[in-house]
Structure 1
Amino acid sequence: MTPVKTDAAPSLFDPITIGGLVLPNRVLMAPLTRGRGTMEHVPTELMGEYYAQRAGAGLILSEATGISKEGLGWPFAPGLWTEDQVEGWKPVVERVHAAGGRIFAQLWHMGRLVHPDMGGGAPVSSVAVAADGQAHTYSGKQDYATPRALPASEIPRVIGDYVTAARNAMRAGFDGVQIHAANGYLIDQFLRDTPNDRDDDYGGSADNRVRLLREVTAAVAGEVGADRTAVRLSPNGVVQSTNDSDPVTTFTTAAKALDALGIAFLEMREPREASTFAKTDVAPVSPHIRKAFSPPLFLNSDYGLADGQGQLDKGLADGIAYGRPYIANPDLVERFKAGAALNEPNPRTFYSQGPEGYTDYPAMEAAPA
């Protein structure tokens, strides 16, 4: 059943302005790595069909997309650093626009989670400490390698890679870009105090640890416009060996810095006690961020329709980003509006090649009775 909104709160189905765009609803498609590109990280025709099927979202956030060979360590994930990749994205974006949708490219540098076997050389991070666990490679899972601590002198080069990828995204026709600063990847490896124990301008205080995020965001916004720039954060709990001893201080510092830059919106993966995919015992940080960040705020992590609307009713969010529900439900907004049942996703095909479990989930009108 569709939840009844309060008079003071917007509905998930109400429009919202984010930066330079007016979205028809507040349901975002969260970034979802699906591994349907080529080994050269070029988008494929099948990806165009997949994203066009989901164009009813207020905004699609693309799967994480590598900014450089150094920074991309996921097999068959797309990139945005070569001309072939830009040309591969163009028809994908065109199909989304033809279907009435809007799409941002998510810019990704995985830092120490890139294995050298992926061809990008030694991985880089805030410090020379390997993550726990194993990396996905074309030859199977392998233990994470010890990264090279990124010297301050090389940081402008990495920032330049973000800027180039952002420029390429706009050349490919994207409506904007989202900087991936969450989930234990490179910027998060600088942002949080585990693993970042540097003693230079990029370590120590929260303001120093936020520096890389602030510099990347300022540079990208300078290239494509702050109104076409967004950021993703993951403010609570350990993820991929990355954690923080004082997430409220760290992430409110980050939120204030992003607010000052005037970005379009902030989207946050924040696991909750109610989460099924990822749980945390850390209290939500988003209420603190809400006070520090004035542009639209979107929350993400295992929300359904009712509890997602509940965050809007309580004034804690301006919209909700849905991930796994969009894998199996290309028409998620329509299903929500109709109070219809959702298809269940098949984890076996999350990262497989081909259309199975990718473009073959039925829309509501085509689903069996």
Structure 2
Amino acid sequence: MTHPIRAPDNIPLDIHVEYYTQRATKGGLLISEGTIISDRASGYPSVPGIWTQEQVEGWKPVTAAVHQLGSTFFCQLWHVGRASAPCYQPDGGLPLAPSVLPIPPEWEYFDTKLGKPQKYPLPRELAAEELPGIVEQYRVAARNAIAAGFDGVEIHAANGYLIHEFLSESSNHRTDAYGGPIENRARLALEIVRAVVEEVGAERTGIRFSPFNEFLGMHDAHPFALYTYLLEELAAWDLAYVHMVTPIVKGNVDHPEGEGSLEPFRAVWKGTFLVAGGFKRDSAVAAVREHHADLVTVGRHFLANPDLPRRWALNAPLNKYDRSTFYTPGVKGYLDYPFLEDTEEGKEFLASLKPEAN
């Protein structure tokens, strides 16, 4: 999960070391918060980046600490596309997008100059000759991530951000080689994957999709056709994994009755398949046991429970997450969630266990 306002100058701090080591477990996989790939890629205040040497150096203590505890650590490469505003652009310019189509007015961003939420502005359409530069930014970011000590990278192609905007017919009205039919809308995503694989290797490259997510006004009339095509094309590389968000996640909240299914995509993709979206202990175990996924990723519950693997192993009670602190500065809601043995409820639970179970 991305935690804005905690990385001034887009450089990780000591609090990032503590946050990730709180959650590092031997044999586990951590995927970093969204990490921006250029100074034009951000739409949130003070999120970490990976395009400068200073940022690479800032990440090194984080990755080293995570590895000391035995976890594998991937860096999520992120460009927000049109989900930005002039206050986040280095020259005060417009955000970048596949087409001049704004995010619907029911969605807002926080304007750092005005100090209050605002409607998203009209973006600027990226010219075709600019797209190789975007691909190169992903390539350099992947190279930097490995130099910073990450084990691999996850290309963020979900949740209404730049790559997803090119994929979706709701945000891509281009008439050139990057718009129109599925093959064209998928072109940029595949070019980015190719560049990253060439740079760091397929075994160090994952990608995340959200076929059904309506966050930031996204919609596709034919998600199965689009993502089946993508998975078939991605089969040319033996990627580390494909990571997909379940249809119960619409926008930034859960909808248990969400339509659609990831099962058709699971059938197409023969490699490692990760799923995310509203999972709890029993549903996560069932997803793996019934071969719906190879791995289940967890965000909000892991944020609120730094020792979540242990709690799930013991079937222990969980801390409740506080959504109001997800995007606020400082350590509250970031470093202050207690471990199991640090709460009265947790102490009582542990005391009730047989010695060999604890």
Q: TM-score, normalised by structure 2?
A: 0.90
State the match for 2:76 in structure 1: 106
Q: Which has the higher helix share?
A: 2
Matches within 5 A, 1:1-369: 32-56=1-25, 58-120=28-90, 121-132=93-104, 133-138=107-112, 139-272=115-248, 277-279=253-255, 283-368=259-344, 369=347
Question: Could you tell me how far apart the structure 2 residues matched to 1:275 and 1:66 are?
Answer: 21
Q: How many matched pairs?
A: 338
Question: Could you tell me how far apart the structure 1 residues matched to 2:167 and 2:118 are?
Answer: 26
Quote the offset at 1:212 in angstroms.
0.8
Residue 66 of structure 2 aligns to a residue in which SS? helix
Moved more, 317-326 or 128-137: 128-137
Question: Could you tell me how far apart the structure 2 residues matched to 1:284 and 1:364 are?
Answer: 36
Amino acid in structure 2 at the alignment position of 1:117: C
Amino acid in structure 1 at the alignment position of 2:63: V
Q: Are 1:36 and 1:44, in contact at CA under 8 Å, matched by a contact in 2? A: no
Q: Are 1:236 and 1:280, in contact at CA under 8 Å, matched by a contact in 2? A: no
Any idea what the Cα deviations from partners look like across 1:187-215, whole Å, max 9, x if unmatched? 00011111112121111111211111110
Question: Could you tell me how far apart the structure 2 residues matched to 1:274 and 1:155 are?
Answer: 29
Residue 111 of structure 1 aligns to a residue in which SS? coil
Quote the offset at 1:292 in angstroms.
1.4
Question: Could you tell me how far apart the structure 2 residues matched to 1:282 and 1:75 are?
Answer: 31
State the match for 1:13 in structure 2: none
Quote the offset at 1:34 in angstroms.
1.3
Quote the offset at 1:285 in angstroms.
3.7
Quote the offset at 1:279 in angstroms.
2.3
Q: Are 2:159 and 2:213, in contact at CA under 8 Å, matched by a contact in 1? A: no
Amino acid in structure 1 at the alignment position of 2:110: H
Cα 1:355–1:274 change in 2 (3 A) is: closer
Structure 2: state its 5+ residue gaps: 348-358
Quote the offset at 1:123 in angstroms.
1.0
Quote the offset at 1:365 in angstroms.
2.4
Quote the offset at 1:277 in angstroms.
2.3
Amino acid in structure 2 at the alignment position of 1:35: P
Q: Are 2:11 and 2:49, in contact at CA under 8 Å, matched by a contact in 1? A: yes
Residue 40 of structure 1 aligns to a residue in which SS? helix
Quote the offset at 1:353 in angstroms.
1.9
Question: Could you tell me how far apart the structure 2 residues matched to 1:265 and 1:352 are?
Answer: 31
Residue 50 of structure 1 aligns to a residue in which SS? helix
What fraction of aligned residue pairs are identical, expressed as a percent?
38
Question: Could you tell me how far apart the structure 2 residues matched to 1:206 and 1:111 are?
Answer: 19
Structure 1: state its 5+ residue gaps: 1-31
Q: Are 2:158 and 2:164, in contact at CA under 8 Å, matched by a contact in 1? A: yes
Structure with higher RCO (Cα < 8 A, 6+ apart): 1
Any idea what the Cα deviations from partners look like across 1:111-130, whole Å, max 9, x if unmatched? 00011111343211110111
Amino acid in structure 2 at the alignment position of 1:78: P
Q: TM-score, normalised by structure 1?
A: 0.88
